[in-house]
Amino acid sequence: MKRLSVVLLLLGLAGCYYPSKLEARRACTRWENQEKELSQVKYIKTETADWVHLPAVNENNTITARYCEDDNNTKKFVGYENYAIQNETWENKEDKKGEWKAIKNFRY
């Protein structure tokens, strides 16, 4: 029983890493795309454009609720999410834009 617990623990830890950078990117992109169709907000550029993480803005100037960013220093892709966009409470006003929070890590 003790050996089984150790084996399951090791399998769980091994599952936290992807075999390659490409696989980690694909997994992050799948996670990112799960939300894109549900919550998209039209973005109009303003003088406070610094707020928007450019990976979250697509070619149609649509901001999505999730995006992925490569962190080469720690060998992982970080998945960010903005709940104001996800919950459709986002407005192009200073206090209504929500915050980007790191939600998920895809290590390679």
Domain total for the chain?
Answer: 1
- The predicted pLDDT at position 93 comes to 79
Instruction: Give the model's pLDDT for residue 25.
Output: 96
Residue 6 domain-assigned (yes or no):
no
Per-residue H/E/C for 51-76: HCCHHHECCCCEEECEEEEEEHHHCE
Claim: this prediction has a pTM higher than 0.75 = no
Name residue 96's beta-bridge partners.
none
> Helix H segments across the chain?
2-14, 21-36, 83-86
Position 99 in a domain: yes
Domain containing residue 42: 19-107
State the pLDDT confidence band at 35, using cuts at 50, 70 and 90.
confident
- The per-residue pLDDT for range 48-99, each reduced to its tens digit, is 455 555 566 666 667 788 889 999 999 999 999 988 888 888 877 778 888 9
Report yes or no on 7 lying in a domain: no
Q: Which amino acid is at 36?
A: K
Looking at the domain assignment, is residue 94 inside a domain? Answer: yes
Provide the pairing of β-strand 76-82 with 100-107. antiparallel
